[in-house]
Each structure stands twice: as C-alpha cells, then as structure tokens.
Amino acid sequence: MTERALKLPKPFLTGLNELVPGLMLCVVIAAAASFVSAQYGGPTFLYALLIGISFHFLSDNPKCLPGIEVSAKKLVRVGVALLGVRIAISDVHAIGALGVTALAGAVVLTIGFSLMLAKLLRLPSMLGILSGGATGICGISAAMAISSTLPQKRENEHYTLLTAIGVAAFSTIAMVLYPLVVTVLELSRSEAGLFLGGSIHDVAQVVGAGFMISPEVGDSATLAKMFRVAMLMPVVVVFAFWFRSARQASGNDEAGKQPLVPFFLLVFIGLVVVNSLGWIPPVAVEMSSDISKWCLVISIAALGVKTSFEKLSELGWKPIALLMGNALFIAAYMLVVVYLGRMIF
C-alpha cells in the first residue's frame, strides 16, 4: 500500500485536531474523578461534575470549545446506547407482577409529580421533566439521555447540570440513610430490595446500599433497579417524539435531518434484544459497560466545564426543593407499595 493511500483527508485531520484539546481536557477530568472515587469512595459522576466546574474558565477558549461540545453532546449518546448490554428482557420475570407494576408506576408517577411540583414552584417544565426522569429512572444517565432529546438550548444545559448535581447528592444521601430505614422498619429481604432498588437514583448507590445490608438484599435491589433502567428506553422514545418539532424549531437540530427515533436509541433497543437472546458474551458485556461508563463520565465532566456555580446560583432554591420533593415522593411511594404487598400476600 502506498504512502498516498494511507494519507488521511486534510479536512478530517483538521477537524480532529480541533477536537483534541477539549476532548483531552474532559478525558483527564474523568480519569481524575475515577481515581478519586476508587481511592476515597463516593460517586464518580459527582466528582467529574465538580472538577469540571473548576475548569469553567476554559469553556470559552476557542481551542478547547469544539472538543468540550462534542464530549457533552455526542459521547453521552454513545454511553446511553451501550447501557443496553446491561439489560435483558428475562430480568422482568424475576421481579414479579407486583414489582413490575410498582416500578413502572414509580417512573411514570415521579415524572408526573415532578411536572406538577415544577408548575407549583413556577419552574420550567423542562426542569421538571429532567429532574423527574433522573429521580424516577437511573439518575445522571437518565438526565443525560432525556436531555439529548430536548431542544439544545443553553437553558436546558443549565437544567441538566443542576439536575445531575442534585441527583448525585440526593442519591448519595439515600445510599447512607435508606439502609437505616430498612432496619428500623424491619423489612424482609425482598421488601428491602424492592424499596432500595425502586427509590435510590443511581445504580452504583443502589448496589452500595443493598450490600450494606446483605449480599441477598444487594442482588434483589440491583434487579429492581435494572428494571427501572430498562424504563429509560420507552421514556426517551416518548420524549424524542414529543420534542421533535421543538428541536427542529430551535435551529440546533439540523432541521428536517433528525430521525424520528434517535439512532443511539435504536442501538440501545437492539442491544437489549441481542443481550436477551444471550448472544453477547460476558466479556463483551463487561467491556461495553465500562465504555458506557467512561463516555458518560467524560460527558458529565464536559457539562461541568461548560457551566459555573455563579450561573447555577441564579436559579435559586426552587430547583433544590424540586429535586428533594421528587426524592421524598418516590421513597414514600415505594414504602406504600411494600406495605400494600405485605397486606395482599
């Protein structure tokens, strides 16, 4: 093969060079957040957000901006698509009819409650959707996935960042406090798993809370949580259809070119189906999960770089009240479900 044949097109190289500074910045922040989390504990996503915010001064740097934008808007779609390898349709059968109904209801009702509370607090409905979806489904991953279906406006980026920070904080608090609730209320293994898996926001915190009690509760809680993660697919499809016209009208959606169902969502669905058929080897599942996590951590780091605490403070106390209200609502709902299940069975 000749040297000329190996030569890459100049526009491609130019575009790649423009992305490298900002992309490498976000990768380094993600690596630092992962190191701190591994050494000292705590949620990687939250560290990535906070470290990213400390580098906000680079968000307006013309050399870094293209890579930061790609990290914030494109890598999240890769990360969400690869979440499909962690879900199998057969997992639903192990939860039972009551569990499936309760967990699906938790997602729908939390989003509905969040929209209602946002209206009462006179907050934008977009913030209500993001915080409700993040609380009801799977934390920051859900916030990022839902955000990708919304009109790409600066306000929505602020709402996404605020939701991510709040969800990470409340999820960590829940990981510490909810095992105490389980102990005080003397919940059984299955009840504890349903409560923890149905009320804590992020997967990592669900696993941590469950295994604080026992390996059996940890497994039960993880299974319940993965069903909530599976609800990400239909919820994002609904919002993709709902906001399609708004995305096109915003002028940031390459009007007319955006497919009815985003490609990353089709990949997500395909991976769920393939994984359910048992065609993905465990090594590939683990590798894809790791890649998904890295893409999401890099994306949230980029989102942190793009926004400052000064801008967040302008939003006031109401968004915090919204996030706290959502957290309390889903926890109370799951406790009601647990006690209703105890009465029925």
Residue 34 resides in a domain: no
Q: Which domain holds residue 273?
A: 62-344
Question: Which stretches in the chain have pLDDT values below 50?
Answer: 1-3, 5-6, 253-258, 260
**DSSP state string for 76-143:** HHHHHHHGGGG--TTHHHHH-HHHHHHHHHHHHHHHHHHHHHHHHTT--HHHHHHHHHHHHTTTHHHH
Q: What contacts 56, CB < 8 A, 6 or more positions away?
A: 304, 305, 306, 307, 308
Residue 78 resides in a domain: yes
Residue 272 resides in a domain: yes
| Positive or negative torsion for Cα 325, 330, 336, 339 | negative
Residue 8 resides in a domain: no
Residue 46 resides in a domain: no
Looking at residue 2, its pLDDT comes to 47
For residue 256, give the 3-state DSSP assignment. Answer: coil
Instruction: Render the burial of 96-113: b for 16+ CB within 10 Å, e for the rest.
Output: eeebeebbbebbeebbeb
Looking at residue 252, its pLDDT comes to 53
Looking at residue 272, its pLDDT comes to 81
Looking at residue 23, its pLDDT comes to 94
Question: How many folded domains does the chain comprise?
Answer: 1
CA neighbor of 332 nearest in space, from 141, 125, 165, 109:
109
Residue 1 resides in a domain: no
Residue 71 resides in a domain: yes
- 302 within 8 A of 77, measured Cβ to Cβ: no
Looking at residue 308, its pLDDT comes to 64
pTM of the model: 0.70
**DSSP 8-state class, residue 58:** G
